[in-house]
Amino acid sequence: MGSSYALGLVGSVEDGLLERERAIEIHLRSNHYPPVPSSMVGPCLEAIEIIERSQWGDADVSDRVALPDGVRWRGEESAPAYAIVESHHLESFIQYEGEGE
Protein backbone atom coordinates (compact mmCIF):
# COMPACT_ATOMS: atom_id res chain seq x y z
CA MET A 1 0.00 0.00 0.00
CA GLY A 2 1.08 3.61 0.20
CA SER A 3 2.26 5.75 -2.68
CA SER A 4 2.28 2.86 -5.18
CA TYR A 5 -1.37 2.18 -4.40
CA ALA A 6 -2.21 5.88 -4.82
CA LEU A 7 -0.38 5.96 -8.16
CA GLY A 8 -2.41 2.94 -9.27
CA LEU A 9 -5.62 4.78 -8.41
CA VAL A 10 -4.44 7.83 -10.36
CA GLY A 11 -3.70 5.56 -13.32
CA SER A 12 -7.23 4.16 -13.11
CA VAL A 13 -8.60 7.72 -13.23
CA GLU A 14 -6.42 8.56 -16.23
CA ASP A 15 -7.58 5.37 -17.99
CA GLY A 16 -11.23 6.28 -17.36
CA LEU A 17 -11.83 3.31 -15.07
CA LEU A 18 -12.58 5.41 -11.97
CA GLU A 19 -13.87 8.88 -11.29
CA ARG A 20 -11.37 11.07 -9.41
CA GLU A 21 -13.77 11.42 -6.49
CA ARG A 22 -14.14 7.64 -6.13
CA ALA A 23 -10.38 7.10 -6.39
CA ILE A 24 -9.79 9.56 -3.57
CA GLU A 25 -12.47 7.89 -1.47
CA ILE A 26 -10.80 4.51 -1.98
CA HIS A 27 -7.43 6.05 -1.13
CA LEU A 28 -8.76 7.62 2.08
CA ARG A 29 -10.66 4.52 3.21
CA SER A 30 -8.17 1.79 2.33
CA ASN A 31 -4.76 3.45 2.14
CA HIS A 32 -4.85 4.98 5.64
CA TYR A 33 -5.03 3.52 9.10
CA PRO A 34 -7.32 4.28 10.65
CA PRO A 35 -9.45 4.90 7.56
CA VAL A 36 -10.26 8.54 6.86
CA PRO A 37 -14.01 9.28 6.89
CA SER A 38 -15.67 9.56 3.47
CA SER A 39 -16.85 13.03 4.52
CA MET A 40 -13.27 14.20 3.79
CA VAL A 41 -13.50 13.45 0.05
CA GLY A 42 -14.96 16.89 -0.75
CA PRO A 43 -12.38 18.84 1.28
CA CYS A 44 -9.59 16.74 -0.27
CA LEU A 45 -10.85 17.50 -3.79
CA GLU A 46 -11.04 21.20 -2.91
CA ALA A 47 -7.51 21.16 -1.48
CA ILE A 48 -6.16 19.46 -4.61
CA GLU A 49 -7.88 22.07 -6.79
CA ILE A 50 -6.36 24.89 -4.74
CA ILE A 51 -2.87 23.41 -5.05
CA GLU A 52 -3.32 23.01 -8.81
CA ARG A 53 -4.62 26.58 -9.21
CA SER A 54 -1.75 27.93 -7.10
CA GLN A 55 0.65 27.05 -9.93
CA TRP A 56 -0.81 29.93 -11.94
CA GLY A 57 -1.29 32.31 -9.04
CA ASP A 58 -5.07 31.78 -9.00
CA ALA A 59 -4.94 30.47 -5.42
CA ASP A 60 -2.53 30.11 -2.53
CA VAL A 61 -1.53 26.81 -0.94
CA SER A 62 -2.48 28.36 2.41
CA ASP A 63 -6.08 29.01 1.31
CA ARG A 64 -8.42 27.48 3.86
CA VAL A 65 -10.77 24.58 3.22
CA ALA A 66 -13.81 24.02 5.42
CA LEU A 67 -13.82 20.69 7.23
CA PRO A 68 -16.89 18.50 7.75
CA ASP A 69 -18.76 18.44 11.05
CA GLY A 70 -16.74 16.75 13.75
CA VAL A 71 -13.40 17.13 11.97
CA ARG A 72 -10.90 19.68 13.25
CA TRP A 73 -7.41 20.78 12.31
CA ARG A 74 -5.48 22.13 15.28
CA GLY A 75 -8.83 22.91 16.90
CA GLU A 76 -10.14 24.84 13.88
CA GLU A 77 -13.03 24.12 11.53
CA SER A 78 -10.88 24.70 8.43
CA ALA A 79 -7.37 23.80 7.33
CA PRO A 80 -4.89 25.13 4.77
CA ALA A 81 -5.00 23.25 1.49
CA TYR A 82 -1.36 22.21 1.81
CA ALA A 83 -2.04 20.61 5.22
CA ILE A 84 -4.91 18.54 3.84
CA VAL A 85 -2.81 17.36 0.90
CA GLU A 86 0.17 16.50 3.09
CA SER A 87 -1.73 14.77 5.87
CA HIS A 88 -3.84 12.69 3.47
CA HIS A 89 -0.95 11.88 1.09
CA LEU A 90 -2.72 13.34 -1.93
CA GLU A 91 0.38 14.43 -3.87
CA SER A 92 -0.13 11.74 -6.53
CA PHE A 93 -3.56 13.18 -7.36
CA ILE A 94 -2.22 16.65 -8.17
CA GLN A 95 -1.67 17.52 -11.82
CA TYR A 96 1.34 19.77 -12.07
CA GLU A 97 1.92 22.25 -14.87
CA GLY A 98 3.68 20.61 -17.79
CA GLU A 99 2.66 17.05 -16.88
CA GLY A 100 1.41 14.96 -19.74
CA GLU A 101 2.71 17.33 -22.41
Measured distance CA(32)–CA(52) in Å, rounded: 23
Q: What average pLDDT does the structure give for the chain?
A: 94
User: The pTM is what?
Assistant: 0.91
Question: What is the tens place of the pLDDT at every residue in 24-72?
Answer: 999 999 999 999 999 999 999 999 999 999 999 999 999 999 999 999 9
Nearest to 90 by CA among 18, 34, 26, 39: 26
* Every domain of the chain and the residues it spans: 3-93
